[in-house]
Amino acid sequence: MNYKNFPMVPRVIFGRGSFNQLNEIIAPKRLSMDAPFIYLVDDVFKSNSWLTSRILLSYDDRIIYISTEEEPKTTQVDNLVEDIILSTKERPSGIIGIGGGSMLDIAKAVAIMLTNEGETKSYQGWDLVKNPGLYHVGIPTLSGTGAEVSRTTVLTGPEKKLGINSDYTPFDQVLLDPELTRSVPREQWFYTGMDCFIHSVESLQGTYLNAFSKSYGEMAFDLCKEVFLNDTDLSKEEAEDKLMMASWHGGMSIVYSQVGIAHAMSYGLSYVLGIKHGIGNCIVFDQLEEFYPKGVALFKAMKKKQGIQLPKGVCTDLNEEQMDAMIDMALRLEPLWENALGKNWRRKISSKQLKQLYLKM
Ligand code: NAD
Ligand code: ZN
Question: Same structural domain for residues 74 and 222?
Answer: no
Residue 4 within any structural domain of the chain: no
State the ligand closest to the CA atom of 70: 1
142 and 243 share one domain = no
Same-domain status, 15 and 84 = yes
Q: Which domain holds residue 200?
A: 186-359
The atom number, within ligand 1, closest to the CA of 149 reads: 40
Q: Give the Å distance between the CA of 345 and the centre of ligand 1.
A: 31
Atom 21 of ligand 1, residue of closest alpha carbon: 184
pLDDT in tens, 27-55: 999 999 999 999 999 999 998 889 999 99
Listed residues 124, 153, 181: the one ending a domain: 181
Nearest atom (ligand 1) to Cα of 251: 40
Residues 269 and 199 in one domain: yes
Whole-number Å distance, alpha carbon 277 to ligand 2 midpoint, is 7
- Tell which of 137, 161, 181 closes a domain: 181
Q: How many domains does the chain divide into?
A: 2
2 located within any domain = no
The answer to whether position 195 is within a domain reads yes
Categorize the per-residue pLDDT at 71 as very low, low, confident or very high, splitting at 50, 70 and 90: very high
Q: What distance in angstroms lies between residue 145's CA and the mean position of ligand 2's atoms?
A: 5
Nearest CA residue ID for atom 24, ligand 1: 101
Atom 8 of ligand 1: nearest residue by CA position: 68
242 and 102 part of one domain: no
Residues 225 and 96 in one domain: no
Do 193 and 176 share a domain, yes or no?
Answer: no
Task: Answer yes or no: do 144 and 166 share one domain.
Answer: yes
Res 129 pLDDT > 90: yes
Q: How far is the CA of 267 from the centre of ligand 2 (A)?
A: 10
pLDDT value, residue 159: 85
Beta bridge partners of 73: 156
Atom of ligand 1 nearest to the CA of 152: 41
Residues 303 and 331 in one domain: yes
**Which atom, in ligand 1's list, is nearest to the CA of 71?**
32
pLDDT at 249 over 90: yes
pLDDT value at residue 233: 86
How far does the centroid of ligand 1 lie from the alpha carbon of residue 112, in Å?
20
Evaluate whether residue 274 is within a structural domain: yes
To test the pocket of ligand 1, the residue of 247, 257, 277, 285 to mutate (highest count of ligand atoms within 8 Å of its CB) is 277
Distance of CA 154 from the midpoint of ligand 1 (Å): 11
Q: What is the mean pLDDT of residues 181-198?
A: 98
CATH of the domain at 51: 3.40.50.1970
Q: Which of 156, 181, 206 marks a domain boundary?
A: 181
295: confidence class by pLDDT, cuts 50, 70, 90: very high
3 CA distance to ligand 1 centroid (A)? 31
The answer to which of 110-119, 145-154, 223-232, 340-349 has the lowest mean pLDDT is 223-232
pLDDT at 231 over 80: no
Indicate if 166 and 247 belong to the same structural domain. no
Q: What is the CATH number of the domain that holds 239?
A: 1.20.1090.10
Q: Ligand 1: residues within 6 Å at CB?
A: 42, 44, 68, 71-72, 99-103, 105, 141-142, 144-147, 150, 152-154, 180-181, 183-184, 188, 192, 195, 276-278
